[in-house]
Structure 1
Amino acid sequence: MTVLKLRNHIPISGPARREATDGTESDMRVSLGFEPGWFYQRCGVDFTERWHQDPFYRYDSLVKMKRELCKAFPSVSYWNEDFKDDLSTISGCYGAYVIPMVCGFRLVYEKDRWPEIDKNKEKLSVREIEKLDVDNILSSSFTEEIFRQMDIIEAEWKKIHGYLNWQGVLNNAFILRGENIFTDFYDRPDLVHHFFSIISGV
């Protein structure tokens, strides 16, 4: 059985994540990444909602971002302006909050940073968690939005590059339930098992 190896990777357009290796990586490597504010200040890329929802706008912004990286760091071979495949991407869309978005949480967007969860949103109650269903969650308008973008990317560029940032099960549970998830481990283990199964299923 082949064991898939993963490497740390920071796409131009997203937070750190893992990608499959191709066997050419050295044992010690550096992953370079930049906050949205860096790109906003240097090339005017606006990271508000349009960046996350419009594949054409995102593609054009990534052209600018990659050009700026090559200009600012000419001796670094990490980026290649002639390589276009990584521009038709979903990497970075909705930052680290894809699962919360699918579960109905709203994001707050800023022009120079990754989106954040709306802090006014109440965390999920026990009753809400008990009612969660994978099929219902995956039939949400947000899920349709993700697939719409992927269809556009595939139709326009023939290949969908990148990965959404799913985060881990506990990270998502904490975002959705808040600190109560930790007491739930002791007070409501069956609820936690159900909740983790739902998050994993999504």
Structure 2
Amino acid sequence: MQQHPQLISYIAHAAPATRRPATGDEPFLRPEIGFTPRWYREAAGDIDFGERWHTDPAYRGDTILAMARVTRRRFGQRARIGILQDPDQFTDLITGTFGALIVPAIYGVPIWWQEADWPWSEHGHFLTDDDLDALEPPDLDNNPFWQAFMEQVEWIDRHVTQLDGFINWQSVINSGYRMRGEQIFLDMVMDPGRVKALFDCIVETMIDGARRLYARQAMTGVNLTHFTVSNCLVNLLSPKHYASCVLPYDQRLAQEFSAIGVHNCAWNADPYVPHYATLPNVAYIDMGIESDLPAAAEAFPHARRAIMYTPMDIQHKSPAELRADLERIACEYGPCDLVCADIDVGVPDMRILEILDLCEQISAYAADLPLEILRSKGL
């Protein structure tokens, strides 16, 4: 049993990355491999990732089985790294549903469906000042979008043994941007009270929705108590504005749930690490390789740390550069996850296998060294 509960990266088939509870036996450098919908559309045969994929769980299940067969054929048992799916019988039909848009959609933001991508929010449909001044958290019992989603959950429950999976709730800044547009950044400077009103609504909806879904999953034996926030836009904020406008909501979520995971994309997280370190119960944090990795490891000694390794680096770095990066990550930041998300068409399978090989080699070597020696001497 882990003394400090941790979360690890989790990328379901054609889903954006999220996090799931760790088991405690993760390798020192654990790869999490994820492909874009476009990759799967080309590899698994003309799957339509538009509205039907997100609203029809039967169709979604059929395509998930097709995608799982592709990854098993091309990568063997290694394709199960981080994947809950059985290639012969779907188990997780929740993760990936509505991509990153469930909260904006609950508030009525129109979805622009994409046949080869995650759904986008419709451009130009932003809350006006008057809209925002009248905004209140919706009653999910009477919200058509939420009720339609829960009808999917009921269908899924009839076709699986338990309700595995996770909704990507994003964060107040990500959803706030999708609902308010670029005006949200001006509001932070000129009218922070209006930002607070918007974020107050969003966080209540995130908490309400997560608790309802977790309660329904618990009825099938799946007991989840964590929350994750995706602060993909944090690099557009000064540390001051993150601390004043967003951090209070990350703190609220960390207090409402037993553990919190913090996702930063592949940005340099250095300006925000001191603020993240004030959050209670951090079980996961990720960042880009340009961050001060030793400082981050010191700031979060009990969390599962992760590097968001960019698709560009995956595709274009030489074998020597790749090995050097992974060895440095392990030495300065491990034990940790290496999140290889959003891999698109054009990346050779051999590059994926090369990454898996390197992670196995480094993990085997690092497992035999005390952490202080690994940090001081390297691999």
Q: TM-score, normalised by structure 2?
A: 0.49
Bigger Cα Rg: 2
CA change 1:129–1:27 in 2 (3 A) is farther
Q: What SS class does the counterpart of residue 32 from structure 1 fall into?
A: strand
State the Cα distance separating 1:137 from its structure 2 match: 6.1
Taking the aligned partners of 2:75 and 2:9, their CA distance within structure 1 comes to 21
State the Cα distance separating 1:36 from its structure 2 match: 0.7
State the Cα distance separating 1:82 from its structure 2 match: 5.5
8 Å CA contact 1:100, 1:176 repeated in 2? yes
**Which residue is equivalent to 2:31?**
30
CA change 1:175–1:138 in 2 (3 A) is farther
Q: What SS class does the counterpart of residue 135 from structure 1 fall into?
A: coil
What are the superposed Cα offsets for residues 106-158 of structure 1, whole Å, 9 maximum, x if unpaired?
11112211111112x42111221121211346632111111100111112224
Structure 1 portions without partners, runs of 5+:
none
Matched, 1:98 2:102: yes
Structure 2 portions without partners, runs of 5+:
206-379
Matches within 5 A, 1:1-202: 3-44=4-45, 45-74=47-76, 76=78, 77-78=80-81, 81=86, 84=89, 87-119=91-123, 121-136=124-139, 139-202=142-205
State the Cα distance separating 1:177 from its structure 2 match: 0.7
Which segment is superposed worse, 41-50 or 31-40? 41-50
Q: What SS class does the counterpart of residue 104 from structure 2 fall into?
A: helix
Q: TM-score, normalised by structure 1?
A: 0.90
Which segment is superposed worse, 166-175 or 105-114? 105-114
State the Cα distance separating 1:198 from its structure 2 match: 0.6
- For 1:100, give the aligned amino acid: P
State the Cα distance separating 1:15 from its structure 2 match: 0.5
What is the aligned-residue RMSD (CA, Å)? 2.0
- For 1:181, give the aligned amino acid: I
Return the structure number with greater strand share: 2
Q: What SS class does the counterpart of residue 29 from structure 1 fall into?
A: strand
